[in-house]
């Protein structure tokens, strides 16, 4: 009987402890004010803030203007569209249409179009038929020079949102369709001739890609079933030297022109530097790396492979000093054995111990102009080696016989191990059990 009572007491005590723990958890986990029915209207937007009121939110209808289904966006974070908290003390704000274009009609490289972008997907026919440009009533002389001046400023960021460029394939090439290209099409219909010809504009969404890519959990499985993160920290981009360049400035295959690409998106972006850095590109194309890249070999050392991607820093004095310490990351990732063998006392060993005046890989081999030593134009060819060595202050006016030391730079251990004394030492070491 006593045992039965003890077991009942233990069971009751277990229930009481469990109830206390559960109550404590709910008190901590429940958002502040939720129990009182208070909605927090400040701070970041996240699902737990929205779900108490919008757990079953469905279709949003603004008669004659918009119909929108939240169900289609169930996998999208609330903050992707609602970048700030929508419920204000005096009103409820809605995301601007520009937010929609972070996904709609966007060609996501080889993945194709993320979401359809035709007007009728969200707007009724009567609204589309009666729609007029919101700038038309605000700008003087709209049908004259007014829209042209505004277009120069806003064509890629505003105008092309509603007047996209159409393209089609002709003989394997993507060409513009003049009748659908808003500027040229309208000018042709109105009989307006523009000096200097028409320019095709493509909508540029700036950094709106971060709508998805700033979500830390954004990831997917690779072909090898390895989880790969696609999270991009905004601060990394804003701190880089290219902070003023939009995502599409480098990721040209993520666009609104419906252009295809046969290359991997990373490979395409890592060669995008060619569009701005003409001087460096002209040299790079003649190098062994440039030739491999333009043959479509995606393992080649591209601009991005050496300089980085979102985190590229400015090459001022501080930047050059930082880059000089990065030989292993820049070159060693591909040339592992060559970097490992860079260990002679005066160059490699000094460099790897942090000597600021020791040569990095490109000091001797070149940067954009890398060529194999067998090519006469190579910095390490027999023709140019003395000149290359002379570029360092300790070797001013190095004679050709001085360069005979060059064979030791990457072969010190190999040559040492081939000597008679070294072989005896190694033999003795092999006898020692520790």
Answer whether residue 332 shows pLDDT above 60: yes
What is the C-alpha to C-alpha distance for residues 295 and 261, in angstroms, rounded to an integer? Answer: 15
pLDDT of residue 87: 82
pLDDT in tens, 214-258: 888 888 888 888 898 999 999 999 999 999 999 988 998 888 766
pLDDT of residue 398: 67
3-state per-residue secondary structure call for 325-385: CCHHHHHHCCCHHHHHCCCCCCCHHHHHCCCCCCCCHHHHHCCCCCCCCCCCCCCCCCCCH
In a domain, 174, yes or no: no
Residue 370 contacts residue 363 (beta carbons within 8 Å): no
Q: How far is CA 183 from the centre of its chain?
A: 31
**Radius of gyration of the chain measured on its C-alpha atoms:** 32
| Sequence-distant (≥ 6) Cβ neighbours of residue 405 within 8 angstroms | none
How many structural domains compose the chain?
Answer: 1
pLDDT in tens, 369-383: 999 999 999 999 989
What is the C-alpha to C-alpha distance for residues 130 and 211, in angstroms, rounded to an integer? Answer: 31
In a domain, 287, yes or no: no
Reported residue count of the chain is 434
What is the C-alpha to C-alpha distance for residues 234 and 54, in angstroms, rounded to an integer? Answer: 29
Confidence of residue 166 (pLDDT cuts 50, 70, 90): low
| Of 169, 166, 164, 195, nearest in space to 178 by CA | 166
Question: What range defines the domain where residue 404 resides?
Answer: 314-434
Give the residue carrying structure tokens 């295959």.
Answer: 253
The helix or strand, by DSSP H or E, that contains position 251, with its residue range, turns out to be: none
Q: Between 290 and 263, whose confidence is greater?
A: 290
Q: Between 28 and 241, whose confidence is greater?
A: 241
Question: What percent of the chain is predicted at pLDDT more than 90?
Answer: 29
| Of 275, 304, 277, nearest in space to 289 by CA | 304
Confidence of residue 431 (pLDDT cuts 50, 70, 90): confident
What is the C-alpha to C-alpha distance for residues 216 and 210, in angstroms, rounded to an integer? Answer: 11
In a domain, 329, yes or no: yes
Residue 388 contacts residue 380 (beta carbons within 8 Å): yes
In a domain, 171, yes or no: no
Average pLDDT, the chain: 81
pLDDT of residue 384: 92
SS3 (DSSP) at 307: helix
| Of 66, 53, 132, 117, nearest in space to 94 by CA | 66
Per DSSP, what are the bridge partners of residue 60? 68
| Of 240, 433, 279, nearest in space to 367 by CA | 279
HSE-up of 137 (CA within 13 Å, CB side)? 4
pLDDT of residue 34: 46
Q: Which regions of 44-185 does DSSP assign to beta strands (E)? A: 59-62, 66-69, 107-108, 167-170, 173-176
What does the block give as tokens for 16?
């009481």
Answer whether residue 28 shows pLDDT above 60: no
pLDDT of residue 33: 45
- Which pTM was predicted? 0.72
Mean pLDDT of 279-295: 96
What is the C-alpha to C-alpha distance for residues 185 and 196, in angstroms, rounded to an integer? Answer: 16
Residue 328 contacts residue 336 (beta carbons within 8 Å): no
Q: Between 166 and 325, whose confidence is greater?
A: 325
pLDDT in tens, 32-91: 444 445 666 677 787 777 777 776 677 778 888 888 888 788 778 788 888 788 888 888
HSE-up of 188 (CA within 13 Å, CB side)? 11
In a domain, 206, yes or no: no
The helix or strand, by DSSP H or E, that contains position 221, with its residue range, turns out to be: strand 219-221
Per DSSP, what are the bridge partners of residue 104? 115
Answer whether residue 1 shows pLDDT above 50: no
SS3 (DSSP) at 62: strand
What is the C-alpha to C-alpha distance for residues 216 and 335, in angstroms, rounded to an integer? Answer: 33
pLDDT of residue 206: 86
What is the C-alpha to C-alpha distance for residues 244 and 96, in angstroms, rounded to an integer? Answer: 22
In a domain, 96, yes or no: no
Residue 260 contacts residue 109 (beta carbons within 8 Å): no
The helix or strand, by DSSP H or E, that contains position 255, with its residue range, turns out to be: strand 254-255
pLDDT of residue 390: 86
In a domain, 258, yes or no: no
How many Cβ atoms sit within 10 Å of the Cβ of residue 43?
A: 9
The helix or strand, by DSSP H or E, that contains position 311, with its residue range, turns out to be: none
Residue 250 contacts residue 262 (beta carbons within 8 Å): no
In a domain, 257, yes or no: no
The helix or strand, by DSSP H or E, that contains position 200, with its residue range, turns out to be: none
Question: What percent of the chain is predicted at pLDDT more than 70?
Answer: 79
pLDDT of residue 245: 92
pLDDT in tens, 170-228: 666 655 555 556 677 777 777 887 766 666 667 888 888 888 888 888 888 888 888 98
pLDDT of residue 84: 80
């Amino acid at each position: 009987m006593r045992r039965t009572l003890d077991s009942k007491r233990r069971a009751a005590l277990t229930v009481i402890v469990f109830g206390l723990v559960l109550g404590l958890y709910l008190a901590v986990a429940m958002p502040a004010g939720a129990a009182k029915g208070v909605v927090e209207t400040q701070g970041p937007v996240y699902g737990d803030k929205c779900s108490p009121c919008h757990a079953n939110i469905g279709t949003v209808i603004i008669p004659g203007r918009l119909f929108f289904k939240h169900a289609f966006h169930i996998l999208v974070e609330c903050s992707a569209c609602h970048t700030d908290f929508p419920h204000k003390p005096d009103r409820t704000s809605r995301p601007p249409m520009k937010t929609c274009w972070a996904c709609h009609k966007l060609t996501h490289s080889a993945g194709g179009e993320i979401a359809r972008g035709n007007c009728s997907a969200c707007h009724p026919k009567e609204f589309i038929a009666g729609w007029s440009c919101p700038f038309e009533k605000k700008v003087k002389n709209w049908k004259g020079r007014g829209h042209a001046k505004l277009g120069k400023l806003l064509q890629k960021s505003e105008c092309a949102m509603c007047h996209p460029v159409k393209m089609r394939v002709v003989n394997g090439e993507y060409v513009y369709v003049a009748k659908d290209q808003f500027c040229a099409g309208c000018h042709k219909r109105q009989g307006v001739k523009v000096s200097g010809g028409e320019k095709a504009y493509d909508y540029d969404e700036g950094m709106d890609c971060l709508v998805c890519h700033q979500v830390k959990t954004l990831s997917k499985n690779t072909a090898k079933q390895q989880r790969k993160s696609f999270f991009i920290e905004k601060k990394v981009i804003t701190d880089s030297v290219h902070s003023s360049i939009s995502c599409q400035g480098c990721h040209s295959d993520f666009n609104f022109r419906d252009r295809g690409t046969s290359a991997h998106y990373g490979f395409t972006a890592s060669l995008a530097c060619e569009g701005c850095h003409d001087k460096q590109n002209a040299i790079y194309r003649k190098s062994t790396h440039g030739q491999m890249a333009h043959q479509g070999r995606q393992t080649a050392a591209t601009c991005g492979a050496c300089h980085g991607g979102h985190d590229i820093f400015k090459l001022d004095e501080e930047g050059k000093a930082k880059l000089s310490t990065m030989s292993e990351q820049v070159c060693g990732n591909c040339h592992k054995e060559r970097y490992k063998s860079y260990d002679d006392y005066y160059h490699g060993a000094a460099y790897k111990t942090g000597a600021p005046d020791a040569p990095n890989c490109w000091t001797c081999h070149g940067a954009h102009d890398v060529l194999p030593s067998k090519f006469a134009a190579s910095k390490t060819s027999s023709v140019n080696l003395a000149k290359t060595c002379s570029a360092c202050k300790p070797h001013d006016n190095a004679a050709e016989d001085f360069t005979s030391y060059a064979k030791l730079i990457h072969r010190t251990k190999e040559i040492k191990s081939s000597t008679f004394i070294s072989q005896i030492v190694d033999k003795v070491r092999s006898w020692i059990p520790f």
